[in-house]
Amino acid sequence: MVAFRSMRLPLLLLLLNATFGSAHRWFNWQYEVSCESDTFIAPADEKGVADFLKKEFPKQSHIKVVGNGHGFGNLTTCTNKGSTNKTSHIVSLTNLKKLEINKDMTVTVGAGWEVYDLVNELKEHNLSFNYLGAMRVQNIVGAISTGTHGTGQNITNMATQVVSLRVADARGEIRTIDAHKNAEEMKAFRINLGALGLITEITLKVQPTHFLKKTTKVLNATADYTKLYTELADLYKKHDRMTVWGPHFNWDAKAEDWVIEPTFYASWWEPTNYTGVRNCTLNYCANGCGDCIKDYVCYDETSDAVSCPPQGICSSQFYAEIEHFFPMEHFVDAAVNYTKYQQAQTPKMKGFENEKMIFQFRALGGDDSYMSPANTYNLSSENSGVFAVLEIDWMQKVNHWDTLYNNQQFAYDFQDEFGSVYNARSHWNKMSPNNPKHTLAVFPKLPEFLKIQERQDPNCQFANDFLVNQLGIERCRPALNL
């Protein structure tokens, strides 16, 4: 969804604390998730990262790397100061700004780059990423490490573009993991959830920049959800790279119920030989903002055609969100039942400051990263390897904490209801509930991932409550006093 404020403010607050205070409070983008560490550390370079880790390893200090706070859950929450007898550190790698453009159509970048800045830098060299998510506000390593993705049945998540990376383990030892020399390990490190060490730099595939044609089409909504989602499934058969923004529901405050809007829209992207005016970013509706329910066509350089730059971010209101991945073969049945379940749970939402609810759908090619929500390890031979991605956003008419917390808690219920039914996996950074049994079922390579996690972090210094409870890292409970 597009309602994001600047990610720079939380980092600014941390920098101010680093200058003026002894304890350091971290916040995510909408300030409902926070933690307090003893210190804030921003190493000057990779050697500084290694030296810091070597010093802290004998102390078994708690260490959590933070980027731009672009998430809803507790994935990047630090261990709170005073919750154990060990020192808690927040680490920012913002100073690591290496950039090398290589002859083999790859770029090597330091962990300090933000996606927005990196995209613009690549444009100067007529290069772009093969795939981008819908937003550009993330730190590049944070986006990759959590499975950020765009849309396309022949497109995979951003992490699959990584061909090598450098990682510092808890001892401060730095290794290069290469997709050719360390192929199996790379499957663990691409989407590493911050559990395997501090990624100091990554090398990614890029491509010559090119134009895409974006078509947006108004669609008619209906409360006959089987008909509605069957029509969307037919659209996905015609268009490889498509996002559906809808159906939309408005909150009727008098009836205390959701009312479906009569229309919504879909957008799809196609290759084109167009070379004229770049105009997708001139119309912020092209990025999901404004009065978007209208037919139109625009053309732009690939990054600006598929991804929303900060100028196109039109709202900073609180909202709760889920994003679930399930095999495309379940699309109609799952979409119908998620929608019906949402409607049946409406009584839980009465008395709160609701305004709008939007369903969004994407498609994503499967991959072999151990912890990717689109991993194909437990799919049957009958599955295509393509995943449907269903997102639900609950937005508020005012920024109201009780409404936010109510809807976020409500978001967890969907995984319990549909996880095993549809082989559904939750986005790691979007209200993913703690259920280690289900995690193991949908991430069959979890045991292998945890073996590497123990090697990289023997004292559980990089772990936090979320990782321990999500992944079932029982050996780390004593270290965190859980």
26 and 111 in a common domain: no
Indicate whether 55 and 185 sit together in one domain.
no
Claim to verify: residue 254 and residue 330 sit in the same structural domain: yes
pLDDT tens across the length of the chain (482 residues): 444 434 444 444 444 444 444 689 999 888 888 999 999 999 999 999 999 999 999 999 999 999 888 888 888 899 999 999 999 999 999 999 999 999 999 999 999 999 999 999 999 999 999 889 888 888 999 999 999 999 999 999 999 999 999 999 999 999 999 999 999 999 999 999 999 999 999 999 999 999 999 999 999 999 999 999 999 999 999 999 999 999 999 999 999 999 999 999 999 999 999 989 888 887 777 666 777 889 999 999 999 899 877 666 666 678 899 999 999 999 999 999 999 999 999 999 999 999 999 999 999 999 999 999 999 999 999 999 999 999 999 999 999 999 999 999 988 999 999 999 999 999 998 888 888 899 999 999 999 999 999 999 999 999 999 999 999 999 999 999 98
Element (H, E) at 243: strand 242-252
pLDDT at residue 310 in the model: 65
What number of other Cβ atoms are within 10 A of residue 283's Cβ? Answer: 17
Backbone angles phi, psi at 357, to 5 degrees: -130, 130
Same domain, 205 and 326: no
Chain centroid, CA 340 distance in Å: 26
Domain assignment of residue 459, yes or no: no
What CATH number does the domain containing 420 carry?
3.30.70.2520
What is the chain's percent helix, strand, coil content, to nearest 5?
A: 30, 30, 40
Whether 27 contacts 40, CB under 8 Å: no
Do 198 and 320 sit in the same domain of this protein?
Answer: no
End-to-end CA distance of the chain: 34
**What tokens does 212 get?**
């895409």
Domain span at residue 202 reads: 99-209
Q: Is residue 477 part of a domain?
A: no
CATH of the domain at 127: 3.30.465.10
Residue 463 lies in a domain: no
Examine residue 111 and state whether it is found in any structural domain, yes or no: yes
In a domain, 453, yes or no: no
In a shared domain, residues 174 and 322: no
Query: Please, are residues 299 and 280 in contact by the beta-carbon 8 Å criterion?
Result: yes
Number of domain units in the chain:
3
Q: What pTM was computed for the model? A: 0.93
Tell me, what DSSP letter sits at residue 7? S
* 391 and 253 belong to one structural domain: yes
Same domain, 346 and 412: yes
Residue where a domain terminates, one of 209, 239, 261: 209
Sequence letter at residue 82: G
Look at residue 174 and tell me if it is in a domain.
yes
Helix (H, G, I), strand (E, B) or coil at 155: coil
Residues 235 and 375 in one domain: yes
Asked if residue 111 and residue 85 are part of one domain, the reply reads no
Q: Among 69, 92, 115, which residue terminates a domain?
A: 92
Choose one of 209, 234, 267: the last residue of a domain.
Answer: 209
Of 91, 101, 89, the residue nearest 46 (C-alpha): 91
CATH at residue 76: 3.30.43.10
81 and 49 housed in the same domain: yes
- 466: in domain: no
Co-location of 166 and 237 in the same domain: no
Answer yes or no: is 109 within a domain.
yes
Residue 91's closest CA among 117, 111, 115?
Answer: 111
